[in-house]
């Protein structure tokens, strides 16, 4: 017969089941390194008016009912994103073609800690800020925001922790 696993090891293997609820997380974290990339209070619905959008739905993320938007990029990759009015990301060079957000330039957004791709940063072109601002429910008229790919961020506590498993002896 196999040896019996000590009770302590069994409890350690199931520890992720007892982690805090998702609303207790301070915000979205990079899925590669766990570094904070957007605070919960900065997550806000910003509809993307783009020919690349193909569906949307509402989902509880960090205890907030948020708009998740399905997009297909120009290369055909399907992605789901949520939007934030502020992020803690590094943003690349701005581009004006093939934008997910009409009237906005875009740049790739990367984790400041590990450099992993997180999504895109959008902003109004210089001189057009007043004409192209986006009205939001909590932050008024904004000229820049980010769309973060759900697969590239941690938004649930259990996504951060490993699934319960038996430890190898």
- Residue 53 is encoded by which pair of tokens? 């959008």
Return the sign of the alpha-carbon dihedral for residues 46, 47, 48, 54: positive
- pTM assigned to the model: 0.72
Name 110's bridge partners: 90, 117
- Residue 135 is encoded by which pair of tokens? 């009205």
Q: What are phi and psi of 104, to 5 degrees?
A: -115, 145
CA 74 to chain centre: 20
Separation of alpha carbons 131 and 161, rounded Å:
44
Separation of alpha carbons 115 and 32, rounded Å:
9
Torsion of CA 10, 15, 18, 22, to 10 degrees: -150
Name 80's bridge partners: 70
Separation of alpha carbons 85 and 75, rounded Å:
26
Q: What is the pLDDT along the chain (169 residues), one digit of tens a residue?
A: 445 544 444 444 443 444 344 445 789 999 999 999 999 999 999 888 777 778 999 999 999 999 999 988 878 889 999 999 998 888 888 888 877 777 788 899 999 999 999 999 988 876 555 556 666 666 667 778 999 999 999 987 544 443 333 333 3
Q: Is 141 helix (H, G, I), strand (E, B) or coil?
A: strand
Q: Is 151 helix (H, G, I), strand (E, B) or coil?
A: helix
- Tokens 């980010």 — which residue? 146
- Residue 146 is encoded by which pair of tokens? 């980010």
């Amino acid at each position: 017969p196999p040896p019996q696993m000590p009770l302590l090891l069994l409890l350690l293997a199931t520890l992720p089941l007892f982690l805090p609820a998702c609303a207790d997380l301070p915000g979205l974290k990079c899925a590669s390194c766990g570094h904070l990339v957007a605070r919960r209070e900065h997550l806000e619905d910003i509809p993307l008016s783009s020919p690349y959008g193909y569906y949307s739905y509402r989902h509880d993320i960090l205890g907030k009912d948020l708009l998740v938007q399905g997009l297909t990029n120009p290369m055909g990759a399907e992605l789901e994103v949520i939007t934030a009015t502020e992020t803690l990301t590094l943003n690349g060079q701005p581009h004006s073609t093939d934008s997910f957000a009409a009237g906005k330039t875009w740049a790739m957004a990367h984790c400041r800690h590990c450099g992993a791709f997180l999504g895109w940063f959008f902003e109004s072109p210089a001189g057009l800020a007043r004409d192209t601002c986006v009205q939001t429910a909590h932050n008024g008229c904004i000229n820049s925001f980010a769309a973060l790919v759900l697969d590239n961020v941690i938004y649930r506590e259990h996504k951060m922790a490993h699934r319960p498993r038996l430890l190898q002896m």
